[in-house]
Chains A and B, each alone.
Chain A
Amino acid sequence: MGAPIIVAQGLGKKFTLGAKREPYTALREVIGRKARALLSPGGKAKAGNEFWALKDLDFSINEGDRVGIIGRNGAGKSTLLKVISRIIDPTEGRAEIRGRLASLLEVGTGFHPELSGRENIFLNGSILGMSRAEITARFDEIVAFSEVERFLDTPVKRYSSGMYVRLAFAVAAHLEPEILVVDEVLAVGDAEFQRKCIGKMKEVSSGGRTVLFVSHNMAAIQNLCNTAMYLRHGKLVVQGNTPAVVAEYLRATDAGPSSDLAARMDRQGNGAVRFTDFTLGTPDGGELAAAQTGSAVVFRFDFQPGPGPVNNLHLAMGIDDVYGQRILHLSNETTGQVFARAQESTRISILVPRCPLLPGTYGFTLFSTVNGEVADYIFNAGTFHVESGDFFGTGRLPAGDQGAFTTEHSFILS
C-alpha cells in the first residue's frame, strides 16, 4: 500500500437551493433584494434555503487504491467527485491532492456533433487533459477499442447512441493520469460494452494508478474496488474494505414499497405526464407491503397529465437488484399495448401474474414517453421488497445466492 495521495479534513460543500431551481440570477432581482434590504434593515436572506451536500468529510486515500464510492441518490457522491476534481470549490475544510488527476464525470464531455469521430477524439482527449502527442500515440488503440473505425470521418451527430458512447469511453479509457476519477458513466451503453469498460478500468488500476469510482452497480464496485466509502446525506458513514462497506450499505437501504415520486427533483422529461406515487397492490385493488414470489403483484404508478394531450403513452419500469444490476425490463412497448389516448387517466398498473423475483430488495427506474418524447424519467425512482412465497407449490425456492429470479420449469428424464 502506497503513501496517502488524497487527504481530506473536514471537507464540506454548501449549496443554496434557490440557485438550483433557477439556473441563473436576474440582475433585476438582486437590485430588488438590495432595495428591500435597505427598507427593512436586519432582514437577512432565509437560511432555510441552504443545504450541505457534503459535511465534515475526513478521509485519506492511498496511492494505488481503487476506491468505490457508494450511497443513495443525493448522498453527495457526485459533489465529492466535483470537489476533488477542482470543478467546484469546497465551502469549508481542506483537501490535498498529490498527483496528476483526470476526471470522467460524463461520457463525451465537449463532443461536438458537427465534428467527425477522428476530430472529436482529439478534442475530447485534450479536454480530458491529454497532450496532442499522447493522443496521437494512442490514437489507433482508441479507435480499435471504440469499434467505430468505419465511421471515423462521419460527424458524430450521425452516430447511433451506442457508437457515440463507445467512442467517448474509448478516449477516456486511454487517459493515463496518476488519479482517475470516474462518475457513474457505465450506466450507459450495452452490457457487453460495460463489461469491456470494467475490464479496461481494472487494467488501468492494476498499473498502480489510483481510481475513484462512483456507481450504483454493487457488482461493478465489488469487482473493481479494493476499498469503498459509503456516503449518506453528505456524511461519510464508513470507509474500509469493499465487502464490509457494501454490506453496511445494503443493511441501511431503507424498506417500504412506496416512494413519494412527486417530490423528486432529479427527474428529466418535458412533463407531459408526471409520476407522483408508486405502490404495490393485488389484482383486485388491495394494497401490498411487499410482493411475494409466485403470487400476483401489481406495480401501480399514479401520474398527473400535463396541460397538453397525453397521446401514445409509454411506460417502462427497469428493475435492478441490490447491486444496481438491471435484471428485468417491463414496458408496454414490448407487450404491444400502446395507450393512444390517456388524457383522462391517472394511473398505470403493471400486472405480473406470478412474481418471478426471489426474496430481497429491488430498486427500479421509471421511464415514460408521450408521443415519442421523453415525458418523465426518474433514475433509481424507488425500491420494493419481495417476500418468499411458494412459486412451485413445493414450499421450496432457490437459495438467496442462486440468482435474482426463478421461472416455471420441469424436469424430464429419458
Chain B
Amino acid sequence: MSTRVAARSAAPDAALPRAGVLADAALGVGILMRFILRRNWLRMLIWLIVLAGMVVLVIDSQRSLFPTQADRDAYAKVANTPAIAALTGLPYAAGTLGGILNIKLWMTVAIGLSFAVIFMVNRNGRAEEESGRTELLRSGVLGKNAYSLANWLVFSAFAVVVGLACSAAAISQGLPADGAFVMGGSFAGVGFVFVGVAAIAGQLARTSRGANALASTVLAVSYLIRAVADVNATDDRASWLTWLSPIGWGQQTRSYGENLWWPLLLCLAGGTLLCGIALALERRRDLGAGLLPDRVGPRTASALVRTQVGLSLRLQRGSLIGWTVGIIVGGLFFGGVAKAMVDLLKPDNPITQAFVGGSTNVLDGLLGFFLMANALLVAAFVLQSTDSIRAEEAAGRTEIQWSSAISRVRWAAARMVVPAVASLGLLALSGACVGLAYGAAVDDPSQSGRFALASLAYWPTALLMVGLVVFCAAVIPRAAAAVTWGIYGVVVILSMFGDLFGLPDWVTKNTPFTAVPRLDETFTILPLVVITVLVLVAGGVGLWVLQRRDMVSA
C-alpha cells in the first residue's frame, strides 16, 4: 500500500524543482516570520521601549546624582562592594558615566532581554505545538523545521534590535559611541544565546510551562555562576568561572572600559550551536512529543499534605521559596549598601529628610527605612498567600472542599496560618539579613539580632494584611483581590513617599507601617495594640460572614 502511494506521488514530485534537504525543511520560513511578527509585534515593541527607555532614564538620573567628575570618583571608591559585585556584576570603570550605567543597569537589561526571548520563543514554539496549532500549519505545505527556524530567526533579530536600540539610547545621552555599541552588542549576544537555550528547552519539554522552567533554570544558573566569579575577583577581574556563563561572556566585553569585541564571538558561536542542536533534535522527534519524559508526582499524599495547614503549605511551596530568597537577597543588599549610601547622602538634602524621617542619626534612619521597605515586601507576600482563600473559591475548588467534613472557619483558618507564621519568619529573616550585611560593613556582627527584633515590630501589621484579605474575601468575594491590592498600593505610597508629597503628618505617620515604632524611634506599644485589635475585628468579622454566606460559584 505504502509503496503504491509513494510510486504515485513520485510523478508530481519529479515535476517540482529539486531543492536541498534543508531548503525543503525550511520551506515557508519567510511567510512564517511575517506571521510571527504579525502576532507578536506589540509584545516585542513594549519590551524594546522598556529596555531601551531604561537606558535613557538611568543615564539621566545618574548624571544628576553624580554631576561632577569628583562625585563620580568618590562613587568609584565605594562602588565595589561584594553585594554590588554579586547582584549586578563586578564594577569597573566606575568613575565614568558609562561605567556607572553598567553597574546600575547592565544586568537588569541582560536578564530582562533573556527572559523576554525565552518566554517569546516558547510562546511561539512549544506553546503553539502544545495547543495543536502547529499541527494545523505543519499539515499544510510547510517545511518540517520552518516554523522553528522562523521563530528563532525573529527573536534573534529582536535581540539584535534591542541591543542596537540600547546603543542608540546611550549615544543619544552623550555616551561614547564605541562603548555604547559594545554594550548593545553584549545585550544582543546574551539574548542570542538564550534564544538557543529556549530553542533546546522547547525540544526537551512537552509543555511550554516545562520549557520556560527549563530555560529559566539555565538563566538562573548562568547568573549564579557569574555571581560567584564576580565575588571571587582579583582587583577588577572576575575569576575564570565567568567564562562558563553566557552572561559572563557579555560582561567580559567590558563596555565603556576596554571595549572588547571578541567575547561576542563566544555568544555568536554558542547561540548558533544551540540552535543547531535544537534543529537536529527537532528532525528526530515526533510532533507534539518532548524528549524528556513528563514529570510524574507522588501516588499518595503524605501525612503532612493530608492536614489542612500542610495542604496550604504544599500549594504555596514554590511561592514561599521564591519570597524567602527574595527577602534574603533584598535584606543583604539593603544592609550592605546602607553605610555607603549614608556616606554619599547629604543629611540636609530634602529627599534624605523625607526617607529617613526626623532622625538625627541618618544611618539609623536609613536602616529603619529599609526595615519598613522589607516589611512592605513581606506584606505583599502575606496578601498573595492569604488570597488563596478567595482564589480557591473563584477557581471552583471550594465546592469539593466545603462539601467535605470541615467547617469553613477551620478551612479558612488553616489558610491563614501559613501567611501568619511565615510572615513572622520572613520579618525576622529580613531584619537579620539587613543586620548581617550592615554588621559586616561596620565590623559589628552583633547587629543581626537587634535588626531582627526591630523588624518583628511589623508582625501585627503583617497580620492586619491577613485580616484585611479574609474580610474582603468573605464580604466582597468577587472584588476582593482588586480591593486588597488597591489598599496595599495606597498604603505603600503613603508610607514610602507621603513626606515627599508634602502630606500632613497625621496621614503619613499613621499608616499601618509608619505607625510602627522604627529602629531609630522610642519603642511604644500602643500602635501595636491598636493594630492587633484591628486584626481581630477584621479577621473575626470575615470568618463570621464566610461561615454564613452562600458559596460563590465559579
A and B are interacting partners: no
List the interface of chain A (C-beta within 8 A of B): none
List the interface of chain B (C-beta within 8 A of A): none
